[in-house]
Amino acid sequence: MEFIKTKTILSKVKYGNDWYGIDYNMNLYRGCCHGCIYCDSRSNCYHIDNFDVVKGKENALYILEKELSKYKRGIVGIGSMSDTYNPYEKEYEQTRGALKLINKYNFGVSIDTKSDLILRDLDILKEINNKNNVIVKFTITTFDDDLCKIIEPNVCCSSKRFEAIKKLSDAGIYTGIMLNPVLPFITDNEENIKNIVRMAYESGAKFIHTYMGMTLRDNQREYYLDKLDKNFEGLKERYIIQFGSNYNCITPDYMRIYRLFKNECNKYGILYNMKDIIDDYKKEIIDNEQITLF
C-alpha cells in the first residue's frame, strides 16, 4: 500500500449536531476498494485520484496523538469518506491504533463501516464505551446478499453485517444502520424496506437512519450510470429520463415508502430521527481527571 503525506488527521466539524453529534472527523485512509457502485466519495469535488486504490497516511498515529493531546474532548467520527476497515487494515492496524489513542485520551468515537472486520476491535470499543460515547453505524442498502454482491462487490455481504450488529449490540455497543443511499428502482421497494427493518430488530440494532434517495454528481454520476448499464438492463435510460442532471435523486415513491419505513420502525421500537438517535446514545461523561484532582 502506498502512503501519502499529511499534516493533520483530525478536523473540527460544524455539522455535528446534525450528523450523529460528532465533534471531529477523521479518515485514516484515502480511497476505498469496496467497489460500491453508488459511492459519493468518488465525486470530483473530493479530489481523490484513483479512488479505488487505498492509500495510507504517513505518521498518522503520531500526528493523531499530538492532536488528541491538545484538543478539547469530544466524539471522533471515523470513516465518512473512506471505510476505515478496508482489507489493508488487517495488516497495518491504523484504525486499531487510533482507537487505542482515542481510549487513552478519553474521547468518544463514531464509526461508519460496511465491514465486519470491526469485530476485531470489540475489546477496545468496550473499553471506550465504559467511560465515553460509542456509536457504530453499518451501511446496509439491501437485505438481499445476491443484490449486495452487485452493488457492493468487494465487501462482506449484508447478512454478515447483520451478524456483526448482533455481536456488537450484545456486547453493549450502541449500533445501528445507515440505510443510505436508497437506490431508485433498485432498493426503494416495500420488500427491501420491511426486511431491513425486521432484520435490524432481530440483530439488536437501535436505529436506522435514511433519506430515501441518493446523490449523483460529476464522476460519481458517470461511474454509477455505467454500472447500471452493465448490471441492470434499461435502468440507465430510466435514470436519465427521471433525474436528468439532478444532484439529489429522491425515490419517486418517496412519501409512501418513507411512511412505510417509519411505521415499520415504530412497530419494532427502532429510532430513525437523528435527534432521537443522538439523545439516545449520548450519556453523561464524568471527567475522571477532575475526580482524581478533588
Q: Which domains are present in the chain?
A: 2-286 (3.20.20.70)
Q: How far apart are the first and last CA of the chain?
A: 48
3-state secondary structure of 106: coil
Give strand ranges (E) for 128-283: 134-139, 174-178, 208-209, 213-215, 248-250
Phi-psi region of 111 (alpha: psi -120 to 50; beta: other; left: phi over 0): beta
pTM to 2 decimal places: 0.95
Of 47, 44, 53, 39, nearest to 3 by C-alpha is: 53
Q: Is the distance from CB of 113 to CB of 79 less than 8 angstroms?
A: yes
Q: Is the distance from CB of 251 to CB of 212 less than 8 angstroms?
A: yes
- In a structure prediction context, what are the per-residue pLDDT tens digits for the chain, which is 294 residues long? 899 999 999 999 987 678 999 999 999 999 999 999 999 999 998 889 899 999 999 999 999 999 999 999 999 999 989 999 999 999 999 999 999 999 999 999 999 999 999 999 999 999 999 999 999 999 999 999 999 999 999 999 999 999 999 999 999 999 999 999 999 999 999 999 999 999 999 999 999 999 999 999 999 999 999 999 999 999 999 999 999 999 999 999 999 999 999 999 999 999 999 999 999 999 877 665 444 443
Of 250, 249, 272, 248, nearest to 260 by C-alpha is: 272
Taking the C-alpha atoms of 19, 112, 276 and 74 in order, what is their torsion angle to the nearest 10 degrees? -60
Parallel, antiparallel, or unpaired: how do β-strands 108-113 and 134-139 relate?
parallel
